[in-house]
Each structure stands twice: as C-alpha cells, then as structure tokens.
Structure 1
Amino acid sequence: MSVLSRLLVLVGLLSLFHAAYSAHEFSVLSTKYHKNAPLPLDIKLETLVSVFLACLGLVWGSEPLKPVGWNEWAGELERDGGANPFKSLEERVNFVDIRAQRREFATWARQQGPASTR
C-alpha cells in the first residue's frame, strides 16, 4: 500500500469518525430543543466524502486483480513456478462403468468353471 493510499484511508476514516460524532451531537441537541429535526446537509456531505476517500484509498492500495477463470489462474501459477492446486482433479480416475465390470466378472467366472467345494 503506497503512502498516498494510506493517507487517503486515514483522512477518510478520521473524517468519518468526525461526521459520526457530529451526527451524534446533533441528535442529542435536537432531542432537547427541536423534535424531529433533519440532519444538516454538511454532516451528510462530510459522511459521503469521507466514505469516498476511504474507499478510494483502499482501491488504490490494493493488489492487482487475479484472473477470474481457474484455468487461466492455474496456468499463470504454473508459469510462475507454483504447483497447480487443481492437479488432483485433472488426474482423477473417471467414473466406474459397472456394467462393463459385471461383464468382465461374468466372463472370468465362466472361464473358472464350476465353483469347487472345500
């Protein structure tokens, strides 16, 4: 995270805390003197600007985005020298064909002849 992005996040968060404190003070004073008074425009704007500054600082300080497709990501990971975490899924055994195995067993059983008793 660069210095500018950290500074933006810090200023945004401090401003957000100030806006929250101002809104709290206004609500305390408005309950004493003015019932149901709307929140002043400057507090609303300070809140929006502070959230925008904090978000902008976080976005600027974040790492570059990774590819969305897992195959692109795994290919990039393998090119960089890392292990493919999906290798076990790509090399797994296919589904078992039960009918083919039954035919093979029936053929084997016929070749063995009648079962011998002990």
Structure 2
Amino acid sequence: MSALSRLLVSVGLLSLFHAAYSAQEVSIIATQLHVKPDLPVDIKAETLVAVFLACLGLVLGSDQLKPIAWNVWAGNIEKEGGAANPFRLFEDRPNYLDIRAKRREFAEWAKNGAIGAS
C-alpha cells in the first residue's frame, strides 16, 4: 500500500467513526427529548464521503489484477493430476457399452458354450 492509499483509508475510517459517534449523540438527545430521531444532512454526507474515501484508498492500494489464463490453469491441473483435478469424475467415468458387440458375444457364447455344456 502506498502512503496516499493508507492516508485515504485512515481519513475515511476516522471520519466514519466520527459520523457514527455523531449519529449516536443525535439519537441519545432525541430520545431524551422524546422526539423522533432524524439524522441531519451533514452526518449523512459525512458518512457517504467517509465510505467513499475508505473504498478509494483500498482500491488504490490493492495489487494489480492478473489476467485469467484458463489454458495455463488447465495445463497445471493436467500435469499434477490426481485429486487436484476438479474434472476427474467426468474423465474417469465408464464409456458407453456397445450393445451390438455384447449381443454378438452372447450369441457366440450361447452357440458354443451353452450347447456344449448341456
């Protein structure tokens, strides 16, 4: 984090705490006077500016985003293999059966094996 971003986050958080403390004071005074507590515009504006400053400081202080490279990730997963592969269940499923080949095998077995055994 740079000095500017740290300064913005600090000022934003301090201002946010001040706005919260001011809102609490207004609420306490309004309940003592038995009036409906309504926040003044300056406290609402201070809250919005404080949140904006804190968010701006956090965004400016964050690292640069890295591009997403699906092929690099998938290549690393293929190299590692094993439990690290989230698609392992799809790749290891059994293939479809060839019904015609199974019928031919059964027919040959029935001709040769079953007749000779009886």
Normalising by structure 1, report the TM-score: 0.69
Q: Residues 97 and 37 of structure 1: is their aligned pair in 2 closer, same or farther, counting only changes over 3 Å?
A: closer
Find out whether 1:108 has 2:105 as its counterpart. yes
Q: State the Cα deviation string for residues 19-54 of structure 1 (Å, max 9, x = none).
A: 000100111112223612521121111101000001
Q: Does 1:73 align with 2:69?
A: yes
- The number of residues matched between the two structures is 108
| 8 Å Cα contact 1:74-1:84 kept in structure 2 | no
Which structure 2 segments of 5+ residues have no match? none
Q: Are the counterparts in 2 of residues 11 and 53 from structure 1 also a CA contact under 8 Å?
A: yes
Structure 2 distance, partners of 1:7, 1:104, is 75
Say which structure is richer in helix. 2
Deviation string for 1:40-80 (max 9, x for gaps)? 1211111010000011111112233344xxxx5223547xx
Unaligned runs of 5+ in 1: none
> Compared with structure 1, are the counterparts of its residues 5 and 76 closer, same or farther at alpha carbon in structure 2 (3 Å cutoff)?
farther
Question: Does 1:83 pair with 2:61?
Answer: no
TM-score, L = length of structure 2: 0.69
- Moved runs in structure 1, 4+ residues, more than 6 A? none
